[in-house]
Structure 1
Amino acid sequence: MKESIEQLKQTRDLPDEQLLQLIDHQGEDTALFEAADQVRREHYGTDVFLRGLIEFTNYCKNDCYYCGIRRSNRCAERYRLTPEQILSCCDNGYAMGFRTFVLQGGEDPRNTDEAICSLVDQIKTRYPDCAVTLSIGEKPRSSYQAYFDAGADRYLLRHETATDAHYRRLHPAELSLENRKRCLFDLKDIGFQVGAGFMVGSPGQSTKELLADLRFLQQLQPDMIGIGPFIPHHETPFAQEKPGTLELTLRMLSILRLMFPYVLLPATTALGTISPIGRELGLKAGANVMMPNLTPTDARKNYDLYDNKICMDEDAGKCRGCQENRVKSVGYRIVSDRGDVRR
């Protein structure tokens, strides 16, 4: 174990056999976490970057089997924030020190290229020292180019899984891994800072799927990698499936930090959902990003991706303060910074 960790730390890679053993390790992971923390400190010190999350629509044309806002969920209370509401979220966030805003939503047919470009332009005009990140799903290359030309800096699009068979297990037939990968490579080619990622412990996943995720990320070389445990939602076909574990998610975070020392790696809300100290443990395992929620609370409760999601009724100021205290408690510091990748 220690030899594999040191080799991964030095070379950023291991043969398949050793990586599989590391992923599947049963027992104490302290040495892995400490190595990952050392590497993140070499690249980012104790800095933790904040992303102001604005969940601006929960309408979605897709029907992914794991997602609470899938189009087949007739119980979902749908909403769309107006441009004025979104800009108000940015105003509040800027005053609290946020220098990145993440516009996240389902694949809402009303989000035309014109509407997204106008929104990005307004935010960048009002706050030119801030980064704008979009997370709105699969689009044609021409749409991504338009968003980039309007001023968007980053794009988050989790690949979810890097094997075709497992992708089909998680998604309906009209979605394909081939197109998801096409989107990611288009985004990278255009010039976005690109984020990919996957769920840990999703139905049908084994260590071989996790190995495939790591190999795909080596091909893509993203700037951001978002992972979190699978958590079932009661209005989906996976309602009775077991959630992903804290232990495996933390292990994968550390492996990712060692393989991609430069990467921006969030300690996600899902981690905090499966453990009261999940996000703190995520930071200690190599993460260096937190994403407090700026969405108005009356809408936020309806951005219901999985069951028991935390922080659904906290106002933005309380959420910001809570996360700062959590970061300090484990020896790091929040910085008011765009938090660009440091390759």
Structure 2
Amino acid sequence: MIPISEILNKDNFSREEIIRLLASENEDRSALFACSAKVKEENVGNIVYFRGLIEFSNICGKNCFYCGIRKGNKRANRYNLTDDEILEAARFAYESNYGSVVLQGGELEGEAFTLRIERLLHRIKELSDGRLGITLSVGEQTREVYRRWYEAGAHRYLLRIESSDRELYYKIHPRDKNHSFERRLQALYDLRDTGYQVGTGVMIGLPFQTTDHLAGDLLFMKALDIDMCGMGPYIEHADTPLWEYRDQLLPLEARFDLALKMIAVLRLMMKTINIASATALQAIDPIGREKALKIGANIIMPNITPGVYRDDYKLYENKPCTDEEAADCKNCLEARIHMSGNKIGYDQWGDSLHFKERN
């Protein structure tokens, strides 16, 4: 069997080599993490960029089998921030020198929703004198809608594929016109054609998922030539259809470890993209996000949603930091990031170097 050190010296990995890296343990795992940390340091440095996360609504038109805010969950306490509440959160990010915000909400479509996002983009640009970068994460839309939002000021878009394997995709989503694998894939191409920095990601440790699936996901992201990635461990939610498969899941610690290895391997495969350290990591390990920063991630998304709403944007159980206000989150993360040996890139958009190189 080829030594891990030989695999790590390659510029490109085969599917089998990725599977081997994802299965690594002990000294091999340590070698993987040491290599990905070195590649991160050499290519994107030790700067961590903040994206102030505004979870502005948990009203969703989709019924994904893994998600706590799915349309069919009648137990979810629905909310929708006012424009003023969203703008106040954006103002906090601006005054705190975060550099960027993320507007994230349930997936909705329609002219009223399109106009609202368009209006908010203009107003966020106005209140920050154009200095706040804006990422959107509000799901599948038409190419025309993506164009309107891009022209209004958004320049990054995160649309997680959740699984790049069509068969697995339909095991975790309804098989209907509202949950089309082909449409989600097309949306990613539309975003790229419109001019966005494009991000996607997957859940790690899903029911029915294998390391072969995960290797395919990494190869998919490489082939799509993404600019940024947000992925993390799958954490089950009691009010979802996938809850019945909870006894078949990897232990939480194994899902966490696999998520770290996915981040490390992706950093080796795509050296200059932005990789987010997902909040779900902290739901399993108190210093989970810091561990991800050490081995490859370079983006953190402090939650700046008003505290009263945070517990209701519950995609999964045990979501951390729901009892904090924005300033608490900022102070906590500053200490954590410095503890991880990184520095915060304040007042910077922190755009993907990969995007800049390609363009």
| Partner Cα separation in structure 1 for residue 76 and residue 108 of structure 2 | 14
Q: Deviations over 1:92-120 (max 9, x none)?
A: 11111211110000013575211111111
How many angstroms apart in 2 are the aligned matches of 1:18 and 1:33? 15
Alpha-carbon distance in structure 2 between the residues aligned to 1:208 and 1:287: 23
Give distance in 2, aligned partners of 1:4 and 1:251: 14
Q: Write the mapping of 1:27-176 to structure 2, written as runs, cut at 5 A.
A: 27-28=26-27, 29-109=29-109, 112-127=113-128, 128-174=130-176, 175-176=179-180
Structure 2 distance, partners of 1:274, 1:129, is 35
Q: Which residue is equivalent to 1:14?
A: 13
> Which amino acid in structure 1 is aligned with residue 212 of structure 2?
K
Q: CA RMSD in A?
A: 1.2
Task: Report the Cα offset of residue 239 of structure 1.
Answer: 1.9
Q: Are 1:338 and 2:333 matched, yes or no?
A: no
Q: Deviations over 1:217-245 (max 9, x none)?
A: 12211111111000001101122423561
Q: Distance in 1 between matches of 2:76 and 2:335?
A: 33
2:284 to 269, 274, 278: 274
Q: Runs of 4+ in structure 1 displaced over 6 angstroms?
A: none
Partner of 1:25: 24
Question: 1: CA distance between counterparts of 2:270 and 2:109?
Answer: 35
- In 1, the alpha carbon distance for the partners of 2:186 and 2:168 equals 18
**Distance (whole Å) between structure 1 residues aligned to residue 78 and residue 15 of structure 2:** 44
Partner AA of 2:340 in structure 1: V
Aligned mate of 1:186, from 181, 186, 190: 190
Asked if the contact 1:60–1:109 (Cα under 8 Å) also holds between the matched residues in 2, the reply is: no
Q: 2:357 maps to what in 1?
A: none
Match of 2:261 in 1: 251
1-structure distance, mates of 2:278, 2:16: 29
| Secondary structure of residue in 1 paired with 2:231 | strand
Name 1:2's counterpart in structure 2: 5
Inter-partner Cα distance in structure 2 for 1:265 and 1:320: 20
Distance in 2 (CA, whole Å) between partners of 1:135 and 1:228 is 16
Q: Deviations over 1:133-168 (max 9, x none)?
A: 110001111111111111111100001111110000
- Equivalent in the alignment of 1:322: 332
Tell me the distance in 2 between the aligned counterparts of 1:263 and 1:138: 22
- Matched AA of 2:351: D
Which region of structure 1 is more displaced relative to structure 2, 271-280 or 36-45?
A: 36-45
Distance 1:77 1:226 in 2: 26
Which runs of 5 or more residues in structure 2 are unaligned? 355-359
The answer to which of 75-84 and 238-247 deviates more is: 238-247
TM-score, length-normalised on structure 2? 0.92
* Code of the aligned partner of 2:311: K
Cα pair 2:102 2:136 within 8 Å, conserved: yes
Shift of residue 215, structure 1, vs aligned partner: 1.7
What is the CA-CA distance between 1:40 and the residue it aligns to? 1.1
- Taking structure 1 as the reference length, what is the TM-score of the superposition? 0.96
> Matches of 1:339 and 1:194 in 2, distance apart?
14
Query: In structure 1, what is the Cα distance between the partners aligned to 2:265 and 2:16?
Result: 14
Counterpart CA distance in 1 for 2:71 and 2:125 is 31
- CA separation in 1, counterparts of 2:174 and 2:191? 24
Is the contact made by 1:57 and 1:108 (CA closer than 8 Å) also made in structure 2?
no
Distance 2:231 2:74 in 1: 28
| Matched AA of 2:90 | C
- Quote the offset at 1:18 in angstroms: 1.5
Q: 1:129 Cα shift?
A: 1.3
Amino acid at match of 1:135: S
**Which of 181, 193, 213 is the matching residue for 1:209?**
213
Deviation track 1:274-320 (CA, whole Å, cap 9, x = no partner) reads 11111111111110011100000111110010001000011101101
**C-alpha contact (below 8 Å) 1:167/1:176 kept by paired residues:** no
Return the alpha-carbon distance in structure 2 between the equivalents of residues 103 and 87 of structure 1.
11
**More displaced 10-residue stretch of structure 1: 106-115 or 161-170:** 106-115
Share of identical aligned residues, percent? Answer: 41
